[in-house]
Chain A
Amino acid sequence: MYKKLLKIGDHTVAVTSHSTTVINMFNSNFLSINSSIKEDLSILINDNYGVPFVDYNVVITKSQDSISYKRKDYFITVDCNYTNATILVHNELALKHALMNLYSSFIVHHNWGLLLHSSCVIDKGMAHIFSGHSGAGKSTAATLSQPRALLSDEATIIKITTHTVTVFDSPFRSELNAKCLSKPYKLDTIHLLNQSLSNSRERLTRGNSLLHLMDKVFYWTESSTETRKIFKLLHLLVNQVPVYNLYFQKNNTFWEMIS
């Protein structure tokens, strides 16, 4: 049995597997640690499950002591306290999506924070999120922001408390590899992207901010309790962080309006 200890957000996650192929999938983007700290979440992962990616449809089944998330290319079972999970996957893409599914459910369960469909860039020690519908330019904005460091290019890990909102380096990457930064960054702004011929931005009301962010959250739940948690976390988020509509040209000049 192979084992790796990872840091995701400020959580310690232990992954074990019989398969070296699976364990090697954690060699890039994930921050490995050596620690005797007890893990927050323990995951047993095995491969040879299902078929290659078909669609995003996830079937959720809840029993008295566990919850399962089933997609054609992955199957997750986790206990109700989100401490022990088993993941079966078909391939690396399935593993990434299964981990995003599990981790987003884990952080909502603990009222810790949210996984937001967005990229996130560090500028002058502060985190700035770029979100939007599919194709709006999340990874384009991330690429155009170089040489600034990135915390995410697809899924941003946001920790939300009543008095502060911080962002952690995300191992859930689509194109741009993670540098495995270990410390969190205070979230300064959220921008909803719209590609345009000229640069401008407008601040949204807190109500509209909440509305626009609802469908940017990664979550898989049919539970109204969990949905309420997401709603409350978003409420805390928009109370602390300004959200803007950003109309941007496809170059780096939009940063003049932000920093």
Chain B
Amino acid sequence: MQQYIKKDDYETVQLDNEWIIMNTDQFTVTKLNDIGGFCWSLLESPQSTEALTKSVKVQFNLDNINLSNHIEVFLCELMDFGLIQHAV
């Protein structure tokens, strides 16, 4: 099962319900909502799409059948932004 992890200890701040991540290698800034921020904090350790989906369901009391797809897209975007990598 494919797992993901943060690429580096990038500077992150939580402001109200928004999370801002500064990629200090690429000089880019990414803003996440509270669910994205929750996932980001979990990515401190290796996470699969399934594991993240389960954690989000519990934390936010969600029952969305498409949640897993949304998490997958979210992880792809974080990969594109150079914020996470495959956990070996």
Chain A interface (Cβ < 8 Å from any Cβ of B): 205-208, 210-211, 214, 224, 227-228, 231-232, 235, 238-239
For residue A210, which residue of chain B has the nearest CB? Answer: B20
CB contacts (< 8 Å) of A238 on chain B: these are 15
A243 and B24 CA atoms in complex are apart in Å by: 24
B25 touches A210 (CB 8 A): no
Across the interface, B27 reaches (CB within 8 A) one of A207, A211, A227, A239, namely A227
B73 at the interface (CB under 8 A from A): no
For residue A214, which residue of chain B has the nearest CB? Answer: B29
CB contacts (< 8 Å) of B25 on chain A: these are 224
B11 touches A207 (CB 8 A): no
A205-B16, A228-B11, A239-B15 are known; give 17 further A-B pairs, CB within 8 A: A206-B15, A206-B18, A207-B15, A207-B19, A207-B31, A208-B18, A210-B15, A210-B20, A211-B29, A224-B24, A227-B22, A227-B27, A228-B24, A231-B11, A231-B22, A231-B24, A235-B13
B19 to chain A, nearest CB (A): 8
CB contacts (< 8 Å) of B27 on chain A: these are 227
A58 to chain B, nearest CB (A): 14
A205 touches B24 (CB 8 A): no
CB contacts (< 8 Å) of A205 on chain B: these are 15-16, 18
For residue B12, which residue of chain A has the nearest CB? Answer: A231
B20 touches A207 (CB 8 A): yes
CB contacts (< 8 Å) of A208 on chain B: these are 18, 31
A210 and B27 CA atoms in complex are apart in Å by: 14
Given the interface pairs A205-B15, A238-B15, the reply to whether A211 lies near B24 with Cβ below 8 Å is: no
B13 touches A210 (CB 8 A): yes
A210 and B20 CA atoms in complex are apart in Å by: 8
A-B CB contact pairs (8 Å), 25 listed: A205-B15, A205-B16, A206-B16, A207-B15, A207-B16, A207-B18, A207-B20, A207-B31, A208-B18, A208-B31, A210-B13, A210-B15, A210-B29, A211-B31, A224-B25, A227-B22, A227-B24, A228-B24, A231-B11, A231-B22, A232-B11, A235-B13, A235-B15, A238-B15, A239-B15
